[in-house]
């Protein structure tokens, strides 16, 4: 299988750098083909702006969505964006790997999403009608592919537990897993999270690698998070609220998981 690992850490000798190297080796040893987008090493341009297409008049008003759509349709996207889209088309599975920074992904990775997820590629796809609201949340250009997060966090596991001060990790990662990965169609696997990173030593690192290695070995058989598909009847269209009889006792993020 083909795996794209998108890595966002500025220091190759970091814990994240070690986990990346471990992951690539483990996947390759199992016979998979791996491409790494090492965003800092690539000096990835993190800001979405008018320079992202090659055919804009300098004095034209910049519309982030419509310019993205035009460039995607006309083949005038900046080359770095088109290359990453090709990698996404190529991959059977995509891993986003990053340290948790301010309860989210580092800005460089957010910028990768903003620029690579063009209008017509990751959103604005499919028919909008009384019965459908586009191909998204379980459908879309990346449907049939798997995705997983590898995240490191300074906080303890308990800090991210059901009643932890930081909020549950599933809630913190929901905008990434549901909003960024499930939205364009990925089947999203449960995340691999390493907590309390300041307490890392050789022995613990070895245990982390064992656990991560198992997750990578199981990449093709792990059950995805059962997010509810948008167009399969659970949501009223066009309100896009859950039908009253579906999980009536639940609200918030958890309501969108079967
Ligand atoms: P490193 O600092 O490189 O390493 C961590 C430890 O692992 C070190 O002790 C190192 O010696 C050891 N190590 C590295 N490689 C190996 C190896 N191969 N073998 C054995 N030991 C090794 N945390 C939160 O929980 N929530 C937040 O919202 C949050 N926000 C942050 C915002 C910013 C801007 C920053 C800078 C940090 C934030 N943190 C937060 C902490 C952050 O998540 C952790 O610092 C990060 O996940 C650690 O990953 P790293 O790759 O940078 O680790």
Domains and their CATH numbers in the chain: 2-225 (3.40.50.360)
Q: Is 14 in the pocket of ligand 1 (CB under 6 A)?
A: yes
Pairing state of beta strands 235-236 and 241-242?
antiparallel
Question: In angstroms, rounded to a whole number, what is the distance separating the alpha carbons of residues 220 and 180?
Answer: 20
pLDDT at 177: 98
- Give the distance (Å) from ligand 1 centre to CA of residue 126: 40
Task: Decide if pLDDT at 41 tops 90.
Answer: yes
* pLDDT tens per residue across span 125-149: 999 887 789 999 999 999 999 999 9
Q: At what angle do helices 107-116 and 79-90 cross, to 10 degrees?
A: 90
* pLDDT tens per residue across span 82-117: 999 999 999 999 999 999 999 999 999 999 999 999
- Place 58 in a pLDDT band, splitting at 50, 70 and 90: confident
Q: At what angle do helices 202-217 and 15-29 cross, to 10 degrees?
A: 40
Which atom, in ligand 1's list, is nearest to the CA of 103? 28
Q: Is 213 in the pocket of ligand 1 (CB under 6 A)?
A: no
Q: Which residues have CB under 8 Å from 69's CB, separation 6+?
A: 118, 119, 120, 124
Q: Is 64 in the pocket of ligand 1 (CB under 6 A)?
A: no
Closest among 183, 179, 171, 258 to 223, alpha carbons compared: 258
Question: In angstroms, rounded to a whole number, what is the distance separating the alpha carbons of residues 63 and 154?
Answer: 38
Residues of the chain with pLDDT > 90: what percent? 96
Which atom, in ligand 1's list, is nearest to the CA of 100? 43
Look up residue 57 and give its two tokens. 């008049």
Can you say whether residue 203 is alpha, beta or left, with left for phi > 0 and alpha for psi between -120 and 50 degrees? alpha
Indicate the top mutation candidate among 21, 38, 101 to test ligand 1's pocket, ranked by most ligand atoms within 8 A of CB: 101
- Give the distance (Å) from ligand 1 centre to CA of residue 145: 29
- Give the distance (Å) from ligand 1 centre to CA of residue 7: 14
Closest among 226, 166, 231, 234 to 196, alpha carbons compared: 166
Name which residue leads in pLDDT, 58 or 190: 190
């Amino acid at each position: 299988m083909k795996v794209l690992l998108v890595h966002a850490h500025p220091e190759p000798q970091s814990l994240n750098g070690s986990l990346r190297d471990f992951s690539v080796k483990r996947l390759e040893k199992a016979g998979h083909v791996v491409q790494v987008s090492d965003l800092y090493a690539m000096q990835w341009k993190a800001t979405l702006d008018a320079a992202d297409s090659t055919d804009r008049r300098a004095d034209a008003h910049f519309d982030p969505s419509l310019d993205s759509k035009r460039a995607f349709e006309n083949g005038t996207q900046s080359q770095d964006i088109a290359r990453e889209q090709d990698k996404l088309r190529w991959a059977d599975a995509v891993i986003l790997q990053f340290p948790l920074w301010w309860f989210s992904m580092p800005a460089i990775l957010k910028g990768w999403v903003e620029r690579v997820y063009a209008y017509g590629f990751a959103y604005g796809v499919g028919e909008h009608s009384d019965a459908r609201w586009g191909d998204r949340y379980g459908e879309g250009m990346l449907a049939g592919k798997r995705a997983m997060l590898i995240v490191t966090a300074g906080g303890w596991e308990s800090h991210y537990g059901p009643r932890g001060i930081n909020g549950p990790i599933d809630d913190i990662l929901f905008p990434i897993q549901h909003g960024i990965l499930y939205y364009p169609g990925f089947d999203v696997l449960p995340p691999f999270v390493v907590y309390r990173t300041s307490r890392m030593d050789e022995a613990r690192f070895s245990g982390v690698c064992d656990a991560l290695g198992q997750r990578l070995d199981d990449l093709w058989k792990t059950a995805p998070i059962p997010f509810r598909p948008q167009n399969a009847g659970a949501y009223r269209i066009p309100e896009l609220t859950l039908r009253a009889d579906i999980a009536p006792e639940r609200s918030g993020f958890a309501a969108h998981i079967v």
